[in-house]
Structure 1
Amino acid sequence: MGGQDGGQVAAAEATGHAAGQAATPEATRRGAARAAGPEATERVAVDFAGEGAGVDEMSWGMWEIWHAMQGQRSALPIGGRAPLEAGTTLAGLAEELRYLMGRFPSMRTRLRFDDRGRPTQQLFATGRTVLEVYDAADGDDPDDVAAAVEDHYRRTVFDYADDWPVRMGAVRKHGRPTHLVTVMHHLVTDALGGALMLREVRARQTAPAAGLQQLDQARWQRSPAGQRQNDRALRYWESVLRAVPARQLPGPSDPRSPRHWDADFRSPALTAALPVIAGRTGAAMTTVLLALFAVALHRTTGINPVAVRPVVNNRFRPGLADVVCMVAQAGGCLLDVEDATVEEAVQRAGSATLSAYKHAYFHPERLRELTARVSRERGEDVEVGCFFNDRSAHLPPPDGQDMTAEQLARTLRTAPAGSTFTWTARHDIPAERLFVTAEDVPEGLRLEIRIDTHFISPAEAEALARAWEAVAVEAALAPAVPAGTGR
């Protein structure tokens, strides 16, 4: 797309990888009253039309995120706000909204609910939405108005049956559009799908959308081939659930109220160490990061094997490479790091995650049933509540490629002094027991650590982060570092 009317691209880019970001909590019950917020001064009607229509079961990816949305009582909204280039017009923004709704089936999909509240998806071939316009008064900063509109869009409850999943608003001052705000609920797409959407919007693609869309996915998943995939995945999952340790996380040593805490960890040392270890082992940096995480959890708790659910994008599967919808799912694996060196732990993580990726495509409802059954049979909770979501591109640290070996060693030894660990939120919104997200920031790697204090205490979470950094530095400075000690 590009050009002066590239507002959607700018608004989406402003949020980075929004798919896993924390959002203002909101109830998700249908028919709830809309949250109070800024009043639109104009609503531009936008008619749209696109390929396909029909009703079917939700796809596995939709079920995955639906469970998270219901569990967290939030639409997990994605999107953001961004300034617009001079010369942008309301007509151009309306045309952009028309293009989005027409091109991407997930943006014109609503849910239908049966008498028990069970959802199915409904794709519409045509429809009408609105571009809302908010005027900034004299003396108002348009960016402040855009921030208020974004907050309003995030807080306003989505009616999944009657609302379109995309909300778009333009901020205008003195007759000129200055900012665009776009927010959508998480059933629309995952993080990589959002990046693919940006690519197509920039190019203003007109060829039919590639790949299996959500209705196509549901049909395939119900087919014999899809059922075979689901059966294979659940057999693998059962082997994991039979083998997970009874104690997967430290436990309620220091439960707090509010119960759930979020932290931000910035570690220049970890950023610098990753490419060193990856270069020595030949492993992908995401594999190295996961292995170091498992070693750190083992060092701080003594738990082994470490049970973890890596989030898998599933884009390597036939027909899913270029679709703008929810296809990511969390796999499951056990990482045995006891009596190993860190480099051996990296190699083991590579093998374990390959199996996890292969089997991270299944019906989440069936996994819930399987987990409940195995828990009953074992007489203990076997749910794997530790998640790892690597959204980072693992860019090299600033100036890192130009360092000599001696300079790199000095950097690794001194970098921990520049690390920061900060608690950013405390709340009672239901969430996973431990969820770690890695993403890029200008200075390197950012780790978001979200905990349920009934399973891991704040002190243990910070100790885990510091151990993650420490083992990375140790392994980068010397091979054959034991995984099970702090040496």
Structure 2
Amino acid sequence: MAKSARLGRGQRYFWLHHHQLPPGSRHDTHIVLDPPLPEGIAPVRIKAALNHLVRRHEALRTTFPIGADGLPEQRVHPPAALPVRHATVEADGTPSPAEAVRRCTREDFDLAADWPVRACLVTAAGVPKRLVLVLNHVAFDDWSIATFLGELAALLGGAVAGRPAQLPAVTVRPAELAAAEPDAPGPADAGRTAPWREEIRRLPADLFASRRAPAATPPAAAGAALTSPRLLAAARTVAARCRVWPSAVHLGAFAATAAAWTGSHRVPFWLFTSHRDDEAGMDVLTCMFAPLLTAVDLTDDPSFPEIVRRTAEALERAKDLPRTAYDETLELLAEEGTRRGAEVRVETELNFLNYAPRSCGTTRTRLVRNPDPEAWAQSGSDVYFRIHEWADGVTVALRAAGSVLPAEDIERFLRGYEELIVAHTDEAVDRPLSEITRVLDFPTAPASAPATPTGAPQAEPSPGAEAALVAAVGRANALAAVDPAAGYVAAGGRLLRAPRVLEILRDSGWTGLGVRELGGVRPLAALAGRLTRA
């Protein structure tokens, strides 16, 4: 019999993010692994190893449906065999390995019904040639991926050697960790969220307001990655100079470069942060990282070393504030948007990843233009910036919506970022933000677009649309009364219940709204104009 528990913080983020994304684009968040297979391993041994891991780790046999109370839950199922898709190189009328792998990696997960792991085994004359694993982030973070791959390698190696693998005992399970977290998805605790409200009141309405174009010039989004061996030593030198971690140097450099691009003197972003440093179950296989809202204040033209120090302080301050889950923070942003009468938009994500002891594979700076991130472009995000620290270099990868950072300017942004850090390895260099902006010499920003007010005109609702939306919001959130003149959050809606609202609407024949629209500041009466009869 399946057992259920509420979601942990990391699970809450990825579950909601999954529902924020339009169907057909969710594969952009999949984790695709291609682990090496030992020589002589039989298909049955590979399947046995995967099934052993499914029995061992509850996360691998967990689904994430909406519970009877309208909130998502993690539902742990009894052990069973993991379905393994099989593709052969022979022309036997079945899909080719390339097509089988493409389907495996690109198909959406149904979190309510599918386990968060898929497998596709490619064979030639019955001999395994490739194993492709597709993981959903709702059950995996980097720590869990390393654990999963390490245990799989031990099981496969033991099978070939004819000896059992020695794996450590599993002592803590994801459901137990979730039960210990204080931020349950019930009514917001005003005392716990008050410090965050003060932080959010100081945020700009839109970091990219000066750059945001009404419509992006194709492509809708673009991406590139710059790999630099000299950035590794440079960031460490600046870190020693400022007495901070190298990660703060990189985040400070992003804040300075973004400020130079946008002209904003306060740079907010979501930083992906692990919660494994203070949890009892350090080795539990689950997702335990989530984005932390952070903002760097640059209002008084600070020097770059000072920007780095302020970034480190901002990170510590954000970590010291009472813990709030991602969905709770989004609700606070919506509340502030309602207070201002315009959306407070934070759609910039940063991720610092330590890939040592692996090599970056180059001895000089190399810039690679990545394929246009078409699926990511549908997410509604503005920028995703990743820092990979290798044993012998650093890679900084940037995805940007064309509406805020055109494709032709991404290389300029990345190279300016690199030069900013390298220049400040010289202690005689102490450029203020105004000088950094002059040196980077970005193209002049166009006139900024006006903020979108909460009462912006919408299409006239179809007959019955407003009543259907109000009824769905009330039912999903157990509200006795719902004001259609208020936004979803202002009316008492919780974001973790937003997918249930949409589910109720679909069941009654209405479509056209998404979770992101409900999380904004537009009144429900205006949002009803987006609903259409299915």
* TM-score class normalised by the smaller sequence: 0.7 to 0.9
Evaluate the alpha carbon distance shift between residue 329 and residue 275 of structure 1 in structure 2; reply closer, same or farther with a 3 A threshold: same
Look up the match of 1:476.
425
Look up the match of 1:436.
385
Query: Does the Cα contact within 8 Å between 1:259 and 1:453 map onto a contact in 2?
Result: yes
C-alpha distance after superposition, 1:72-127 (max 9, x if no partner): 33152213224422211122212211121012111110122358975322111333
Look up the match of 2:307.
345
Q: How far off its partner does 1:383 sit?
A: 3.0
Look up the match of 1:252.
212
Task: Give the Cα separation in 2 of the matches to 1:440 and 1:216.
Answer: 33
Q: 1:367 aligns with which of 329, 348, 359?
A: 329
Look up the match of 2:243.
282
Evaluate the alpha carbon distance shift between residue 315 and residue 101 of structure 1 in structure 2; reply closer, same or farther with a 3 A threshold: same
What SS is found at the alignment partner of 2:425? Answer: helix
Q: 1:215 aligns with which of 172, 175, 191?
A: 175
Look up the match of 2:457.
none
What SS is found at the alignment partner of 1:389? Answer: strand
Deviating more after overlay: 286-295 vs 436-445? 436-445
Q: 1:237 aligns with which of 196, 207, 210?
A: 196
Q: 1:315 aligns with which of 273, 276, 280?
A: 276
Q: How far off its partner does 1:170 sit?
A: 2.0
Question: Is 1:267 aligned to residue 267 of structure 2?
Answer: no
Evaluate the alpha carbon distance shift between residue 309 and residue 171 of structure 1 in structure 2; reply closer, same or farther with a 3 A threshold: same
Q: TM-score, normalised by structure 1?
A: 0.75
Evaluate the alpha carbon distance shift between residue 100 and residue 110 of structure 1 in structure 2; reply closer, same or farther with a 3 A threshold: same
Look up the match of 1:162.
113
Evaluate the alpha carbon distance shift between residue 206 and residue 227 of structure 1 in structure 2; reply closer, same or farther with a 3 A threshold: farther
What SS is found at the alignment partner of 2:128? Answer: strand
Amino acid at match of 1:308: F
Amino acid at match of 2:235: L
What SS is found at the alignment partner of 1:439? Answer: strand
Task: Give the Cα separation in 1 of the matches to 2:320 and 2:261.
Answer: 30
Evaluate the alpha carbon distance shift between residue 419 and residue 156 of structure 1 in structure 2; reply closer, same or farther with a 3 A threshold: closer
Task: Give the Cα separation in 1 of the matches to 2:136 and 2:19.
Answer: 12
Q: How far off its partner does 1:283 sit?
A: 1.8
Task: Give the Cα separation in 2 of the matches to 1:348 and 1:95.
Answer: 51
Q: How far off its partner does 1:471 sit?
A: 0.8
Question: Is 1:465 aligned to residue 414 of structure 2?
Answer: yes
Look up the match of 1:27.
none
C-alpha distance after superposition, 1:122-167 (max 9, x if no partner): 111333333333222279xxxx965543322112232323322221
User: Counterparts of 1:185-224 in structure 2 under 5 Å?
Assistant: 185-202=136-153, 204=165, 206-211=167-172, 213-221=173-181
Seq. identity, %: 20
Query: Does the Cα contact within 8 Å between 1:395 and 1:444 map onto a contact in 2?
Result: no
Evaluate the alpha carbon distance shift between residue 444 and residue 229 of structure 1 in structure 2; reply closer, same or farther with a 3 A threshold: farther
C-alpha distance after superposition, 1:17-65 (max 9, x if no partner): xxxxxxxxxxxxxxxxxxxxxxxxxxxxxxxxxxx95112222211101
Look up the match of 1:184.
135
What SS is found at the alignment partner of 2:137? Answer: coil
Task: Give the Cα separation in 1 of the matches to 2:320 and 2:419.
Answer: 31
Q: 1:134 aligns with which of 83, 87, 90?
A: 87
Q: 2:5 aligns with which of 56, 68, 78?
A: 56
Evaluate the alpha carbon distance shift between residue 375 and residue 55 of structure 1 in structure 2; reply closer, same or farther with a 3 A threshold: same
Amino acid at match of 2:122: V
Q: How far off its partner does 1:436 sit?
A: 0.4
Number of residue pairs aligned between Structure 1 and Structure 2: 416
Deviating more after overlay: 344-353 vs 267-276? 267-276
Deviating more after overlay: 457-466 vs 426-435? 457-466
Query: Does the Cα contact within 8 Å between 1:85 and 1:178 map onto a contact in 2?
Result: no
Evaluate the alpha carbon distance shift between residue 399 and residue 117 of structure 1 in structure 2; reply closer, same or farther with a 3 A threshold: closer
C-alpha distance after superposition, 1:221-259 (max 9, x if no partner): 3689x9999767633322221111234124324722442
Contiguous gaps of at least 5 residues in structure 2: 155-164, 440-534
Q: 2:398 aligns with which of 442, 446, 449?
A: 449
What SS is found at the alignment partner of 2:133? Answer: strand
Query: Does the Cα contact within 8 Å between 1:274 and 1:472 map onto a contact in 2?
Result: yes
Contiguous gaps of at least 5 residues in structure 1: 1-51, 401-410
